[in-house]
Structure 1
Amino acid sequence: MTDRRMTVARALTEFLAAQWTVDGDTRVRTVPGVLGIFGHGNVAGMGRALGEMQRDDPSRLPYRPARNEQAMVHQAVGFARVNRRRATLASTASVGPGSTNMLTGAALATTNRLPALLLPSDTFATRVADPVLQQLELPHDTGLTVNDAFRPLSRYFDRVDRPEQLFSIALAAMRVLTDPVETGAVTIALPQDVQTETLAVPAAFLAEREWHLRRPVPEPGALARAVQLIRSARRPVVVAGGGVVYAGAEAALAAFAAATGVPVATTQAGGGAILDDHPQSVGGVGATGSAAGNRLAADADVVIGIGTRYSDFTTASRTAFQDPSVAFVNVNVAPFDAHKLGASVALVADAREALAALAEALAGWRVPAGYAERVAAERDGWRDIVRLATAPTGRELPAQAEVIGAVQAELADRDVIVQAAGSLPGDLHKLWRVRDPLGYHVEYAYSCMGYEIAGGLGVKRGLVAQGDDREVVVLVGDGSYLMMNSELVTAVSEGLKLVVVLVQNQGYASIGRLSESVAGERFGTRARMLDVEGAEGSVIPLDLAANAESLGVDVIRVEPGAGVIERLRAAVAAARAAARTTLVHVETDPLPDAPDGEGWWDVPVPEPEAGDGAAAEAAERHARGRARQRPYL
């Protein structure tokens, strides 16, 4: 085959359409589509190239319009997670604000260790017209552009300043997108003039190329040390993170837990790593975990961390593990994470491969009978608490826990719940009974307000691409809804059905609670009318249900009052059965808390002044928490 003459933008789109990820017997397109919003930075380059591909063969690299650039990246992240990091979407945006709108999405993707390909447009590489519209000028460095802000937020960043650079940059980008250790946001900045320049493209660059995911096996010496330490344990516990899900290791974890009797507590990203009905499943761990998981973690002598990055929420700000001699066996594909908390054994390996090796080496070993009985008792006790907390109470304005119980009661086991920010992630971590490996999708590494609807749309895209017809249910608070609801229009325009349950509690319930805990009295967290001096007055007369209707969504309003939970359940059932995106609107009381999971989170408190009893009480609580913190060396 001979070289082809084409623009840089067309060469890039042709290249992306030919990339495949291979994971065992699974072979999928690495980048099966592009999301984009066009402007003067990309309309003549990426816009024209994608238009030509749509005309020639829309199945190779389909383009889909979006309404918000940040939301495009959120869609890509949701798509990537439901595909277990085997595939993601690309996002193209125009010069200046269009591109910098993707910065939050880049941070979210990298923090969550999920692949997303970002193609921000850049100013002229030639600088023949300088400065151009929307160009940032810095006298100390005229070569710096706003796209350089992506550098610290990306796992890979480069700029195509000359057409010939495309080949090496594109290949390097694919390497990072498909690397389980390095993956995250991958950013290729594309100057608007370079996008439209032509070059001779070798046939080899455009040929189909396979990227095989690495699944490293445990090193024998480290495996032997891990087995020896686990065999010595009297009170072991597994902390299962997102790496279990990305490795497709749920069955291996379930078998390991059943064979050994080791209880399994999950992180937010690890939701689905073990299912609720497994006898060794003890719920969440850490600041938002269950009392069962946290009590077992507190007494654990050996912690087996599998695919977790040990965030402060997971370790309860390093108060979760209280045994003076606690040891850590950390299984992670990333050495950076495997060595955290002064790991006694760092098992740098794929979660599924490591669990299979551990199960074989530990054959015949089980936890002591007395400990197994305690695990069962803690698990059963917490399940009773959850049942009570999620049951209807008869309030005219239900508590959030009641809403969670009502929503779950109407969903099928395989349906996916999507959430990200506010008080809902903590309540879900405690109360949601995960019944499918992909059924719990809570973005909590970045906990980005506004992720919910866009991320849910990405999940739905991913499921549709796999031929999976399960329902995607987005649970979103009014604060997050107001920050980003634009992709409801995208869902309507493409016929991608979502069920959205909008919980309206007149403000920011999570920060309101946090504010009270630090003696802040919920200042600035309630949706209230303000007078000229900023004093809070009556509730803002928002009609978010009407807003959703104006975006083309079908809406079911659940009126408060007696029987509200029964009406909510009927509304969720109707939305689930509907053919179109449907939003269920329900008002809640923001004050009742979910059950105490006995976790702690370190948030600074002010030094109390004389006579300030609330601040003194908050400082005393904080001091008690700080006294439990440990360095884990």
Structure 2
Amino acid sequence: DRAYPDPSAIEAAVKVLLSAERPVIVAGGGAITANASSELTRLAERVGAAVSITWNGKGAISEDHELFIGAVGQTGTTCGNKITASADVVVSVGCRFTDWSASSYAKGVSFSIPPGKLIHIDLDPREIGKTYPTEVGIVSDAKVALEAILALISEGDAKKALGKREQFLADVQKAKADWIAQVSPRENSRETPFTSQRPLVALRKVLDRNGIVVVGSGNTQGSVKQSFPVYEPRTHLTSGSYSPMGWAVPAALGAKLACPDRQVVAIVGDGDFMMSLPEMGTAAMNGINVVFLVLNNSGYMSIRGGQRKFMGRHIASEFNHHSGNGQPYSADITASARAFGLEAWKVEKDEDLESSLKAALECGGPALVEVIVSRDAAGPFATGWWDFPSPAYYEKEQAAYAQMRAREQHL
């Protein structure tokens, strides 16, 4: 059974939405759980609203839709953060406003509420108004709430709303172009070791449109959010709340068992992959035809990045030989996969990237592609803010940290 909304709340939401000059719909995981993607897209088209996503909301709208603006939050896109922060009305559909998606509530980074007005749709009444003041709260299943809103917007209302969107939609296109200009050099780089983004672009070219990616934690997770478009709900699976290492590999096996006719690829870093290495045996013994794409930079680079930025040094986050020349250390992941009975490829040259991924997808069994990636271009762009406390003894970050802390709305 679905939870239905209060009709008076729907009427109030429609009134607020139709008054908007710069409306943005934010799709969280609840939009996908409720199977509300079609209704969400129709509402965006009806009133000319841009659509941003959270980690768990990736796939709620096709990412080649002209109204899609990318993700919000600390590793969102510049476009997603800029346009969403500029919204005068935000429609939240199944979004919990975590510190990651809301840039630790620093005003104007991902959201500006107030002065922006919030229409908050969530099945859990405890979420309504929990982090931002709500203009209209709707406790409901997201799908039926959006259906009810759509039913109250006449063709005349829609035409009038769209007539006010010329400048807003021009701003959207400009922000999207700016983001593409920023990220394209990493996505299209032919340098080796690879950037984290380059293998994702190659995979997208050879993966079916409805193929499923199951994404690990850390820099890989953020890079996929920014640089790997998906086009259907439930084709991007990730642990967007706790973000643990070791989850993606067994989760990919489960996804393939649930959807045996779909291509399934686990995208993980080497540190993440090593947490679940024995599952290669599970895949081989049971004939679970998952492709494991391992982005190997010999370490925990997201942890290293946090250590460097907020403490000025890093400890135990790079895998290096501690005797001799100190060069990066890595187990031979490709050889390990072959020892478990998988077909496997190690890619160190750009000309081998797409062909290896294609071969893995077509080999008819579980397979692994190990791609050697750079430590220096190891992750996503940090376009938002995350309140990762910087100790007082590290003076370099104190001024910038204090400036952003002063913008937080929930201290």
- Range class of TM-score, shorter chain: over 0.9
- Per-residue deviation at 1:434? 1.2
- Per-residue deviation at 1:528? 1.9
- Per-residue deviation at 1:536? 10
Which residue in the other structure is 1:572 paired with?
Answer: 357
- Correspondence 1:298 to 2:93: no
Deviations 1:582-632 (A, max 9, x none): 001111111125564521111000103xxxxxx222122212221221239
Which residue in the other structure is 1:253 paired with?
Answer: 40
Any conservation in 1 of the 2:319–2:330 contact (CA below 8 Å)?
Answer: no
- Per-residue deviation at 1:516? 1.5
Any conservation in 2 of the 1:403–1:565 contact (CA below 8 Å)?
Answer: no
Q: How many residues align?
A: 401
Structure 2 portions without partners, runs of 5+: none
SS in structure 1 opposite 2:63? coil
CA RMSD of aligned residues (A): 2.0
1:163-242 equivalences in 2 (<5 Å): 214-242=1-29
Deviations 1:186-211 (A, max 9, x none): xxxxxxxxxxxxxxxxxxxxxxxxxx
Q: Which moved more, 1:435-444 or 1:505-514?
A: 435-444
Which residue in the other structure is 1:557 paired with?
Answer: 346
- Per-residue deviation at 1:494? 1.3
Q: Which of residues 113, 116, 120 is equivalent to 1:330?
A: 120
Any conservation in 2 of the 1:389–1:594 contact (CA below 8 Å)?
Answer: no
Which residue in the other structure is 1:420 paired with?
Answer: 216
- Per-residue deviation at 1:351? 1.1
- Per-residue deviation at 1:529? 3.1
Any conservation in 1 of the 2:18–2:47 contact (CA below 8 Å)?
Answer: no
Any conservation in 1 of the 2:219–2:380 contact (CA below 8 Å)?
Answer: no
- Residue type at the aligned position of 1:357: A
- Correspondence 1:429 to 2:216: no
- Per-residue deviation at 1:512? 1.1
SS in structure 2 opposite 1:342? coil
1:462-611 equivalences in 2 (<5 Å): 462-464=258-260, 469-530=261-322, 537-558=326-347, 560=348, 564-592=349-377, 596=381, 598-608=383-393
Q: Which of residues 215, 224, 234 is equivalent to 1:438?
A: 234
Percent identity between the aligned chains? Answer: 29
State the TM-score, normalizing by the size of structure 2: 0.92
Deviations 1:193-234 (A, max 9, x none): xxxxxxxxxxxxxxxxxxxxx212211111122122222222
- Per-residue deviation at 1:376? 2.5
- Per-residue deviation at 1:424? 0.8
Structure 1 portions without partners, runs of 5+: 1-213, 609-614
User: Aligned equivalents of 1:292 and 1:396: distance in 2?
Assistant: 28
- Correspondence 1:352 to 2:148: no
- Residue type at the aligned position of 1:494: N
User: Aligned equivalents of 1:215 and 1:477: distance in 2?
Assistant: 39
Q: Which moved more, 1:238-247 or 1:354-363?
A: 354-363
Deviations 1:494-546 (A, max 9, x none): 11100111111010011111112113323221002346xxx993433521222
Any conservation in 2 of the 1:402–1:565 contact (CA below 8 Å)?
Answer: no
1:9-48 equivalences in 2 (<5 Å): none
1:77-476 equivalences in 2 (<5 Å): 214-319=1-106, 320-322=110-112, 324-340=114-130, 341-363=132-154, 364-365=157-158, 366=161, 368=164, 369-391=166-188, 393-464=189-260, 469-476=261-268
- Residue type at the aligned position of 1:305: S
Any conservation in 2 of the 1:528–1:536 contact (CA below 8 Å)?
Answer: no
Any conservation in 2 of the 1:247–1:351 contact (CA below 8 Å)?
Answer: yes
1:1-16 equivalences in 2 (<5 Å): none
Q: Which moved more, 1:475-484 or 1:381-390?
A: 381-390
SS in structure 2 opposite 1:457? helix
User: Aligned equivalents of 1:516 and 1:275: distance in 2?
Assistant: 36
- Per-residue deviation at 1:388? 3.6
- Per-residue deviation at 1:323? 5.5
User: Aligned equivalents of 1:326 and 1:412: distance in 2?
Assistant: 39
Alpha-carbon spacing, 1:509–1:361, altered in 2? closer, same or farther (3 Å): same
- Per-residue deviation at 1:324? 4.3
User: Aligned equivalents of 1:481 and 1:379: distance in 2?
Assistant: 33
Deviations 1:105-163 (A, max 9, x none): xxxxxxxxxxxxxxxxxxxxxxxxxxxxxxxxxxxxxxxxxxxxxxxxxxxxxxxxxxx
User: Aligned equivalents of 1:289 and 1:514: distance in 2?
Assistant: 17
Deviations 1:376-410 (A, max 9, x none): 2223332444444311x232211111122122122
- Residue type at the aligned position of 1:623: A
Any conservation in 1 of the 2:219–2:378 contact (CA below 8 Å)?
Answer: no
- Residue type at the aligned position of 2:328: V
User: Aligned equivalents of 1:296 and 1:225: distance in 2?
Assistant: 24
SS in structure 2 opposite 1:568? helix
Any conservation in 1 of the 2:289–2:365 contact (CA below 8 Å)?
Answer: yes
Which residue in the other structure is 1:20 paired with?
Answer: none
SS in structure 1 opposite 2:232? coil
User: Aligned equivalents of 2:336 and 2:312: distance in 1?
Assistant: 32
SS in structure 2 opposite 1:529? coil
User: Aligned equivalents of 1:536 and 1:302: distance in 2?
Assistant: 57
- Greater relative contact order (Cα 8 A, min sep 6): structure 1 or 2? 2
SS in structure 1 opposite 2:104? coil
Any conservation in 1 of the 2:220–2:379 contact (CA below 8 Å)?
Answer: no
SS in structure 2 opposite 1:237? strand
Alpha-carbon spacing, 1:593–1:500, altered in 2? closer, same or farther (3 Å): closer
Q: Which moved more, 1:277-286 or 1:538-547?
A: 538-547
Alpha-carbon spacing, 1:595–1:499, altered in 2? closer, same or farther (3 Å): closer
Any conservation in 2 of the 1:390–1:406 contact (CA below 8 Å)?
Answer: no
Any conservation in 2 of the 1:291–1:597 contact (CA below 8 Å)?
Answer: no
1:58-73 equivalences in 2 (<5 Å): none
- Correspondence 1:628 to 2:397: no
Q: Structure 1 runs of 4+ off > 4 angstroms?
A: none
Alpha-carbon spacing, 1:456–1:623, altered in 2? closer, same or farther (3 Å): same
- Per-residue deviation at 1:286? 0.8
Which residue in the other structure is 1:617 paired with?
Answer: 396
- Per-residue deviation at 1:295? 0.3
Q: Which moved more, 1:540-549 or 1:588-597?
A: 588-597
State the TM-score, normalizing by the size of structure 1: 0.61
Alpha-carbon spacing, 1:425–1:316, altered in 2? closer, same or farther (3 Å): same
- Residue type at the aligned position of 1:417: V
Deviations 1:154-180 (A, max 9, x none): xxxxxxxxxxxxxxxxxxxxxxxxxxx
- Per-residue deviation at 1:571? 0.4
Between structure 1 and structure 2, the one with the greater Rg is: 1
SS in structure 2 opposite 1:417? strand
